[in-house]
Structure 1
Amino acid sequence: MTTYETGAEYVQRKGWKVHSKGPKGWLTDCPSCGHSKCLNIHPGEHGLWTCHSCNQRGNLQQLKRLMGDVLTDAIVSPGSDGPKFAWTAPVAVDKDTARAQAANRRLFPATGEREGSAAVVWEYLTAGRGFLPQTILDARLGAEETPCGCSGGCERCGGAGVIRWVSIPYLGADGVLGAKFRSVPPTPKDWRRIAGRKPGLYNALDGFSAAHTLETPQVILCEGELDAIAWRSFGFPWVVSVPDGAKSWDGSWNDLFAEFAVIYLCFDPDPAGEEGRKEVAQRLGNYRCYKVRLPHKDAAECLVQGTTAEQMHQALTMAEAYRNDRVKRIIDYADELVALIKDPLGARGKPTGWPALDTMWGGVRSELVVVTGDTGVGKTTFCADFARRQTEHGPVLMCSFESSPVDVLAMQVSQELDKHFLTMDEGEIIVQACNLSERGMYLLDHRGAMSVDLLIDTLQYARQVLGVRFFVVDHLHYFLELDGVHDTANIRKACQRLSDFCHDTDSTLLLVVHPKQIESDNVRIQLKDLKGGSDIKQIASSVLSLWRPRSKTRKSKKRGTVTILKCRSQAGREGSLTYEFVKRAERFDFTADDVEGVWGEDETSGYGNGNSKSKWSGDYSSEEWAP
């Protein structure tokens, strides 16, 4: 999808002096307070910015509003050679009204001749897409054209000199809220939208209104605007669509579906569509979601291929319910078993961010992982580093009941920049914090004890609304009520509930567990050293034990070990590997050479049996720390 103006483009258009440039931040003068070298702005689309002099901050749209730049029309007029953006000083009309007026000017006339681009786009919608004329008018579709920029005729514009677009307005109770645009052949498929407003569900106003008139409250949820319009052409107005494909679900939409007993999910039959369908069903409730299998890829293609309304109705009638049965036949696992034989590494999970740890442990899977170690070895720091790396795969929530969110964030910013937090300037700190935020790093704003019920409720909220699938809970004893009598039973119940949460929500949870009081100091913790260790070993799928030496002589790097005391997956194995703890950056670095007993001829063939006896990697004394 084409984006409109980035933070870098806005700074250049305004002619502001740039003192330094980087991929994660540009340093310029603040136009609000007038001070020099105090405004940091991200050069990307969102343009997150902060002024360290006047303490103002926000996103690109808020900066434009502060500067009096109001968007009046994000699309050039037909045949115009002007810039893509037209900006003016504030006028007596708000931004949403201006955007609605711009969208309204591009609607098709209900009657009369359609000429030029309007005729081409109308032909594409009716003859090419099979949309009914009245459906096009009801959806308030329109036509737009922009200069191609070619010197003569080219394949992209078909010699017309302009790119033609279908304008698709998003309608609300107050009129047009925004619009998206889809290119028309011969131009290759492309999408863009009027900038400045977060996209919502398409056809929400009409779709939900029609759905509430049905005897049984039900709604169709599909994967695109044109797909929703196709359903309307088939005579099913009770349809809404996600704006940007199967994976664009926003948890704030959950409540809009609260009253519906049946939700038909019509996503594309490809891996992205299947994953998106599974995610949406998890968030809205599997018990009321049904998988619809259409005769063709989607409703839009069904319309082009001549599928009848009766056939579409039949597809809804035959929709498959999400089964919740936990007992399956052996044959149900046949394909997965064959895939495992063909590709043993396919059983592995997502990368941890440390290739050496992936080699031994087998990657991040949906399971409960216990992280333990003696006091001061860096369990919280390790989990913060782990969580930071997992933001590359999706949103993450770190619940540290012992450390404040600011302390955790300071660790992660140091890990990002590979330098001590106190040596950074304000600009670096803000840019890295914004970067972590954009990647989906969430922190629990709570310190001290919390009930296990409230903890599970918080995790469920993060999973359903924020889409989090990787969690850190630090640590176990902050949500247990230990009385000295029922401690073991309470530990077992809490761990079982967290394990069930991971299984039911397809999530990973790192649970920090402190050892019992032990006589020696700086020892390598085993499962027997944990209170309730036998239950923890039985319930947790993986157990990692951290150790690093201590010394009066503090050096920049120390070598320690991570020992995998338990690995239930056949993709990994028990054993230990060494790491270097980089003090200045609060970071753990592993190297492949430090992996002890990597699968080889002397190990169990294949991918490890998960039952290898744990071995300690060396006996590092304080004098043997890495320089």
Structure 2
Amino acid sequence: MTDIVELKRLLNDRALDVAEHLLPRGVLEGRDWCAGSTAGETGRSLKVCVKGAKAGVWSDFAEGGDSGDLLDLWCAVRGQPLAEALDDVRRFLGVERPSFERQPRTYRRPERPQCQAPKSAVLDYLTRERLISADAIRAFRIGEQGRTIVLPSVLPDGALAGVKYLGVDRSTEGRKVIRVEGGCEPVLFGWQAVSNANLRECTITEGEIDAMTAWDYGLPTPLSVPFGGGKGAKQQWLEAEYDRLAQFEVIYLALDCDSEGDAAAAEIARRLGEHRCRRVLLPHKDLNACRQANVSAEDIRRHFDSARTADPEELIRAGALADDVVDLFWPTSESRQGYRLPWRKAGDKLRFRPGELTIWTGGTGEGKSQVLSHAVVDMASQGARACIASLEMAPAMLLKRAVKQAGNNDRPTEARIREVMMWLDTWLLLFGQVGKAGVTRLIEVFEYARRRYGCDVFVVDSLMRLGVGSEDYEGQERAVFELVTWAVAKGVHVHLVAHARKSDRSNGQAGQVPGSEDVKGTSEIASNAANIIGVWRNRRLEDELRQMGEAAAAGDAVAEMKLRELEDKPPVVINVAKQRNGDWEGKIGLWFNTGSYQYRSANDDRSGLEYVA
């Protein structure tokens, strides 16, 4: 799309070619193309930067300090108004002007209204009640018919396109009394007040009086939509004005600060280009209301300077994230996001942050679901609310394990079970289906749990129970992508259990802990995860511990010494193989308590944690 913004970029990319084309008698000196003036004679007074970050910027030091970009230079050298220069530039660049299909329509030109310059009721209303200056009234060619304001729409070529009549007095119902000449072309009001054809910025308001107020405030090229805010038919003027607005690089949308104004601004920006349009948020409903509230021109200019383009929601300016970046370098206890692992050895090295998906992987029987269960119980003590879809375990069996982990007890009394269950009930919900479940339905239930109960941690155990086969790579990718998309959109964390590929782990070395490449299925599973945690049981060590324990119990002193050595080795290892949003990856050794189903690191109390006092 070759609008003015794109043309300016294309010219800057060919700054040297443009300078040579416009000023053929100039010479290149370092980064500058030098000439005598915009008339093109030889000399050094006019310099055009043709290389580097400032390519396209020029200054004429001998002609009163004229300067600008290459479009300004084109207008100055060729003596053309901007609209004509843009067509010339397109021919030079070999690009087409923006165009669209227009429905052929016939409009009538109205007769010049029988009116006079405001002298009585209209003048009094505009100057005293609406605080419009006499200069603005003259510039916009406002007329008076008794107690009616005559508002002409005059095109840049002087042709009268339409007339609106606005009563000074309201109707008995308190509404404005408006009459419009029928059959006329819908165009913007205010072209008659534009004195410079080369202006590059304009202001679009939602009413003629607001346009005149903008003129009094000194705002750029004030124009008004003909039919007010809203969308659809109210913005039919865009078709007629599209070409005339093509010369504006910045279009300020100072429409009313209400729902109708927002709807109009959104449609105008979409049609004219979000990159050119900036929505102005005023301190009062509209510009004239600001004038009546004594808002200064300096304050209004600040609101215009702070106006932002109607960027897509997905596009974020870097500066808007300054606080977040500072927190990543120097986090405080309040700014740290996400939940930690239960073990002191892990500390803050890994955080399960909002908007992420973590893959827990390992072979069958390695304990990945059990480790994750302990981690979720600990997250609850940090303030998490969880919803678990354990598609491989009945809800009651899952809760039995959670009761052991939360209560740090293998055989709790009935009273203790009920006490722990009351604590679990404050933060835990279960997806009560075992077997296969479609990911769409699962997300629907998760979304309900998020909205009604405030859940922010979600567990899916496991991927292969989401109705996708082990060889259905497209289905796996689609399921994981849906979970990731939902987690990001809702700011929650999803933990997904995925089996590891079969491999030879018989040597019992911790180096065999599964990593990113060991997740079973398509590579897109690992690629879409923010974190990947592999879980591995050292079965050889477990066998040796059992053998040495039996021998020591029988009185074998050597076996007893060996047993103490073996007990210092962790029988479970987790491998943080990927952490996209963190700086640490590595392994942590864990010891498993068969009574409480809790895991402890070397830095933890081996007696376990009491999550329920």
Give the alignment's TM-score, normalised by structure 1: 0.40
Q: Which of these two proteins has the greater Rg computed from alpha carbons?
A: 2
